[in-house]
Structure formats: structure tokens, C-alpha cells
Chain A
Amino acid sequence: DTEVTQTPKHLVMGMTNKKSLKCEQHMGHRAMYWYKQKAKKPPELMFVYSYEKLSINESVPSRFSPECPNSSLLNLHLHALQPEDSALYLCASSQVSNVPLHFGNGTRLTVT
């Protein structure tokens, strides 16, 4: 069982919908991450929160909006997505530096 929990596991949304992905960890980690992974590609970093503050935004389009309500929770708000945004969205957590990331099981997103 993973210690990083992501919901939902699957999400289908239209291009005009607004939805949110959720991630929760209870390992006391102070950094949380969103990665996007397309089929047969490596995970690509989107955002990093460290001590609940956004520390890295890898030039992600504004239709993706991250939020870190507290040290255990991370959300990704989605609005006006495009079909090419369909992918596996991975949440991860870690201590702050020089350590491995622990990944959740991911949310499989399909944009129609």
C-alpha cells in the first residue's frame, strides 16, 4: 500500500469542466510534488511545494492551478483543459532535499 493517497483514480472531463485532483500524505514530509506522465514518457515535473509554499513552477499553463492547504494535502485544480492534457498525474512527497520521492498511485485523466 502506498503512503501517498491520490483521488480520484480515474477522471474523465470535458474541456469546459472544472475538476480537482487531491493528494494526501501522513509521513510528515514537508515537500510535495505534482508530476505529469504521458504514455511511454518519463514523469515531468509540474510543481513543487516546500513548507506549504510554491517553490517550483515549471512554466505550467495557468489552466493547472496547484494548492497546498496544509503540510499533508496537495490539490491540483483543473479548468479548460485540452485533450493533450490527458495523462497520468502523479503526486509525490519527500523530506525537503537529497532524498527519494514517494509517489502515489496516480490519477488517470482523460480530457474529451
Chain B
Amino acid sequence: QKEVEQNSGPLSVPEGAIASLNCTYSDRVSQSFFWYRQYSGKSPELIMSIYSNGDKEDGRFTAQLNKASQYVSLLIRDSQPSDSATYLCAVGTNSGGSNYKLTFGKGTLLTVNP
């Protein structure tokens, strides 16, 4: 069973602080990694993709990938109340041919306090 693990939280940070979200995965052959944001009652929205070891920055968001440790993280700088949502880590696996799917972690609920 391929697993994706996240701390479910809740994680609470003050406005302007850095929020740090973590994720580990069990399938060593996974090649694609994503962070989705999901507001209550809404569908998941892609915020970051990362495929190679190291850091990838996009605005206030930085994704980090360490394949040796099977670890993915997301940093949100200058957190805003509008960042309050559930953050889902997703790992892409391809079991051969066109059998590609994303497996999601349980999500981390982030609350940014004004």
C-alpha cells in the first residue's frame, strides 16, 4: 500500500509568520510531487509542483524535495489569513503504461491568526 503521511494539525501561526508543512511518502519510485490547497467545501487547487531534489520557489511559497529521505515540504512565508485552509500533499505514481494516479495525504489544516 503506497502511503503519503502528513501531520493533520491543526497548525496555527500568526499573520506574517512562516508556516511549515511536511509530508513523507513510502513509494521510492515516485517521481512527481504536488501541494494542493483546499478551502472548506471547495475542490483542491494546485499551488506547487516539484520533480527534482532541492527547492522550488513561487512567490511566497517554497517547496522542498528530498528523494533520499522521501520527504516533501512546503513553506509559506508572510502567512496571510487567506492562507487558512487544508494543505494536501500529493504524490504521483505510475504503475506502468498509462496507469498514473495521485495519492493524497490526509492534509494539514492551517490557521493563520490576524
CA distance A41 to B8 in the complex (A): 10
Dominant secondary structure of chain B at its interface with chain A: strand
A to B contact number (C-beta, < 8 Å): 67
Chain A residues with Cβ below 8 Å from B31 are 98
The distance from the CB of A108 to the nearest CB of chain B, in whole angstroms, is: 8
Task: Please tell me if the beta carbons of B43 and A42 are within 8 angstroms of each other in the complex.
Answer: no
Q: How many residues of B contact A (CB 8 A)?
A: 25
Taking a contact as CB atoms closer than 8 A, the residue among A97, A103, A104 that contacts B100 in the complex is A97
Task: Please tell me if the beta carbons of A45 and B101 are within 8 angstroms of each other in the complex.
Answer: yes
Chain B residues with Cβ below 8 Å from A76 are none
Query: Which residue of chain A is the closest to B42 with respect to CB atoms?
Result: A105
B positions within 8 Å CB-CB of A? 31-32, 34, 42-46, 49, 51, 88, 90, 92, 94, 97-107
